[in-house]
Amino acid sequence: MSHVNSTADYLIVGSGIAGLRAAVELAPHGRVLVLTKSDPEAGSTTYAQGGVAAAVGPDDTPERHAADTIAAGDGLCDEDAVRVLVQEGPHYVRELMEWGARFDRDTDGAPALAREAAHAVRRVLHAADATGREIGRTLGERLNGQSSVKVIDHALAVQALVERGRVAGVRWLGSDGRLGEARARATLLASGGAGRVYRETTNPPVTTGDGVALAYRAGARISDLEFVQFHPTALAVPGAPRYLLSEALRGEGARLINAHGEAFMPRYAAQADLAPRDQVSRAIVREAERTAGPIYLEMPSTVSARAIHERFPLISSLCRSVGLDLATDRIPVGPAAHYLMGGVWTDLDGRTSLPGLYAAGEVAATGVHGANRLASNSLLEGLVFGARAGRAMRDDEPGAGAQPGSRAIDGPPPVGDRLSMPIEERDVADLMWRFAGIFRDGSGLRQASEVLESAWHTLRQGLDRGGSLDASGWRLASLVSVARLITRAALLREESRGAHARRDFPAKDDLHWKRRTYQVLDPP
């Protein structure tokens, strides 16, 4: 098997908004190597529809944005992280516009601001309903032609390289089976989320939690993984992908209705269709159970079909692809896994608990989202914390940020006998959807945990012996690792808060649980 070795000053794993924004920050200061596991556009950034939230409107302030973020986060937001997000957010969004991002404009030329659930005011900048794609395009153009930036695509980061107690880069596996080593003085994980841990997800196929799995195996502190956001309105047509139907649709007046045509959300939440996502997702499940029928999203009859198709061209075409008209048909919907609030613990500058290793974007857990993320705060998170992580990578002395008691764990290169995984991807996804999904309880979580613990221990022993995996084996290894961590965290938290709903502990318990949870690998 051939090996490819590369050295850079800065290594970035992932090519979504956080990784690209960090690369923009770093490009003038040294050689930047970006590893991306598929094509650069295959990640969640490209799928992000609704937009990017920032307090730029005349009736808005960072304080109002902070208040909405903290209310949605259900008592667990790190308020310092929220302050950074809302205060720095407008700067990064304006900068994007200066760099050529084409957000929709009002007739007076100001950015058109959309309404989304749990936002007190119109605050969401958007490029029709394909905002992530536009931001990715803008950052990509900014980096184009920068000779200091090199991208290796179809390179899956599989293991941290540890040298003299610090993370010195990663080992990666190419789609042709080549193994590579990429070394740098600072490594950023910007590898996105893990929606594919669940059977039903809005996320693209690449979202298998590789960054969390890699960081955990290297000894990094992992945080808050019990908090998985389920987006309420994924397309629910049998046999079709769970396409995201943006919350911006409800912001423009769409309502959820049951099989009898009744708008049911006012019975479940004071903010009705514009309640925070966790509440809407649970209401949909309960209403579907109560009526034993499907749930639909219906656009308001007061808005013309033409206006709807113009404002939401991508969603209109997704609906058309399954024979539905967004403007005139009732669109069947249901919740699907969408976003990880937890991930690799970081400080406000992207430093993980391990020296040399940084994380930003969905893979990271700054605590900014608490127990439930506010709509359209994720693209903003990628911009703000991606840029901050880039600056810290540039400025930190080697060894900065290491947390007391943390130590980077070295593993042998995975070049030995091929390991066989004792579980299949579909089994993990079914198990998680059934037992660690929108509603959980101790007995289901224990059932899932038993299966996942056993699969994880087989995997760990094999990797510790230097066993190898092919690309699909690594994919499954990531899914097993992250599913196990989600299940353990969900079992530990004996209360219901934000996106974590336990049927056996239905109340919020501030006395015992108004705190974050952490997991760290035991050294071998």
- CA-to-CA separations, 492 to 204, 485, 516, 517, in angstroms, rounded: 29, 11, 11, 9
* Interaction between residue 69 and ligand SIN (CB under 6 A): no
Show contacts with ligand SIN in window 377-406 (CB under 6 A).
Answer: 378
Considering the complex, state which of residue 375 and residue 455 has its C-beta at the smaller distance from ligand SIN.
Answer: 375
Is 493 an annotated catalytic residue? no
Name the token pair of 470: 């092919």
- In the block, tokens 């957000």 appear at 103
* Interaction between residue 45 and ligand SIN (CB under 6 A): no
Name the token pair of 36: 């991306």
Specify burial of residue 45 (Cβ count, 10 A radius: 0-12, 13-18, 19+).
Answer: buried
Q: What does R_g of the chain's alpha carbons equal in angstroms?
A: 22
Considering the complex, state which of residue 246 and residue 517 has its C-beta at the smaller distance from ligand SIN.
Answer: 246
Contact region with ligand SIN (CB under 6 A), list: 4-12, 375-383, 459-467, 470-478 = 375-383
**Reduced 3-state DSSP string for 228-278:** EEEEEEEECCCCCCCCECCCHHHHCCCEEECCCCCECHHHCCCCHHHCCHH
Rounded Cα gap, residues 346 and 175, in angstroms: 30
Considering the complex, state which of residue 25 and residue 74 has its C-beta at the smaller distance from ligand SIN.
Answer: 74
Min dist. Cβ of residue 469 to ligand SIN (A): 31
* Interaction between residue 368 and ligand SIN (CB under 6 A): no
Contact region with ligand SIN (CB under 6 A), list: 29-37, 211-219, 370-378, 389-397 = 370-378
Residue 167's beta-bridge partner residues?
Answer: 162
Residue 332's beta-bridge partner residues?
Answer: 296
* Interaction between residue 366 and ligand SIN (CB under 6 A): no
Q: Return the number of other C-beta atoms located less than 10 Å from residue 304's C-beta.
A: 10
* Interaction between residue 316 and ligand SIN (CB under 6 A): no
Single out the residue of 22, 114, 234, 248 in contact with ligand SIN (rule: CB under 6 A).
248
Q: Return the number of other C-beta atoms located less than 10 Å from residue 239's C-beta.
A: 5
Site size toward ligand SIN (CB under 6 A) is 10
Rounded Cα gap, residues 524 and 510, in angstroms: 35
Considering the complex, state which of residue 55 and residue 248 has its C-beta at the smaller distance from ligand SIN.
Answer: 248
Min dist. Cβ of residue 381 to ligand SIN (A): 10
- The one catalytic residue in 123, 277, 282, 440 is 277
Min dist. Cβ of residue 248 to ligand SIN (A): 6
Single out the residue of 200, 247, 278, 349 in contact with ligand SIN (rule: CB under 6 A).
247
* Interaction between residue 455 and ligand SIN (CB under 6 A): no
* Interaction between residue 49 and ligand SIN (CB under 6 A): yes
- DSSP letter (8 states) at residue 397: P
* Interaction between residue 489 and ligand SIN (CB under 6 A): no
Considering the complex, state which of residue 246 and residue 481 has its C-beta at the smaller distance from ligand SIN.
Answer: 246
Min dist. Cβ of residue 116 to ligand SIN (A): 7
Single out the residue of 352, 376, 406, 481 in contact with ligand SIN (rule: CB under 6 A).
376
Contact region with ligand SIN (CB under 6 A), list: 12-20, 98-106, 374-382, 482-490 = 374-382
First vs last Cα of the chain: how many Å apart? Answer: 28
Say if strands 32-36 and 10-13 run parallel, antiparallel, or are unpaired.
parallel
Residue 223's beta-bridge partner residues?
Answer: 343, 518
Name the token pair of 33: 């190597």
* Interaction between residue 36 and ligand SIN (CB under 6 A): no
Min dist. Cβ of residue 194 to ligand SIN (A): 15
Q: Return the number of other C-beta atoms located less than 10 Å from residue 506's C-beta.
A: 11
Nearest to 44 by CA among 205, 278, 225, 158: 205
Chain residues that interact with ligand SIN, rule: CB under 6 A: 48-50, 246-248, 339, 375-376, 378
Q: List the catalytic residues.
A: 277
